[in-house]
A and B are shown apart, each in its own frame.
Chain A
């Protein structure tokens, strides 16, 4: 059965952008923010993700977390496509500063300049920054 909010919001689609700025481990922001992204997609909203600053490490290939006793949740980013989340953008300057390229990432992304990201941000209805 549909929840009341589902009926109320039927057809109402806003542009949600999630800005991921923090490393995947060390703090919980990346993990809990991914939960918001998945729920937003479940509400059939127009979702974009931006990875910038240390946030680019969230989607780096080859994460092994056994040594820190934490769950490696990076495979979830690969599952985003299944939720129709395909707008993934990465800040080029952040990649460059960390010696990374798009080849080092576990998902297909569009690498953008900060000016391009700013334009994209301007088009959004809701921006959440984690």
Chain B
């Protein structure tokens, strides 16, 4: 089955990004395809390259980066939601005159059309959040 995943809550404050990760890992292991993971609302914070959780805790961003790299998963961060919350890729940081960028390499910034496309193309779009 072709799955799309929507993550609506930020890491650590909320379990959504962890549960979605477990779901995606299990889906891939069972031979399903993850068409795209879309990060929206506070979920965009998962893409931050600058998070440094305590060493005895899981690293939500690293978990996703490894899973995405190993399985070539398309990881999309909503541009409007990201900019509002201070998440910028190198291009946007330069364009907005900001001194740093913080989007981890495996993620890409794009628009909400990518979420709608996932809804159209996937057999199931699964939402993780409140």
Q: Interface of A with B (CB < 8 Å)?
A: 3, 5, 9, 12, 14, 16, 28-29, 32, 35-36, 39-40, 42-43, 45, 125-126, 128-130
Which applies to chain B's interface (DSSP): helix, strand, loop or mixed?
Answer: helix
Q: Which residues of B contact A3 (CB under 8 A)?
A: 113
Cα distance A42–B113 in the bound complex, in angstroms: 9
B41's nearest neighbour on chain A, judged by CB, is A32
Cβ contact within 8 Å between A45 and B116: yes
B113→A5 contact, CB < 8 A: yes
Cβ-defined contact, B112 with A126, below 8 A: no
From B8, B113, B125, contact of A126 by CB (8 A) = B125
Q: Mark B66-92, 1 if CB is under 8 A from A, else 0.
A: 000000000000001100000000000
**What are the 8 A-B residue pairs with the smallest beta carbon separation, nearest first?**
A126-B119, A39-B112, A43-B116, A40-B116, A5-B117, A126-B125, A9-B120, A14-B120
CB pair B41 A39 closer than 8 Å: no
Shortest B20–chain A CB gap in Å is 15
A14→B125 CA distance, assembly (Å) = 12
A-contacting residues, B6-65, CB 8 Å: 6, 8, 40-41
Minimum CB–CB distance from A23 to chain B (whole Å) comes to 13
Report the minimal beta-carbon distance from B122 to chain A, rounded to whole angstroms: 8
Known A-B contacts A14-B120, A16-B119, A128-B125; A35 and B80 likewise in contact (beta carbons under 8 Å)? yes
B94 within 8 Å of A (CB atoms):
no
Give the docked Cα–Cα distance between A37 and B111 (Å). 13
In the assembled complex, the CB of A58 is this many whole angstroms from the nearest CB of chain B, namely 16
CB neighbours of B117 from chain A (8 A):
5, 9, 43
- Those of B103-129 within 8 Å (CB) of chain A: 111-113, 115-117, 119-121, 125, 127
What residues of chain B lie closer than 8 Å to A39, measured between beta carbons?
111-113, 115-116
Chain B nearest Cβ from A117, distance in angstroms:
18
Q: How far is the CA of A125 from the CA of B117 in the complex (A)?
A: 13
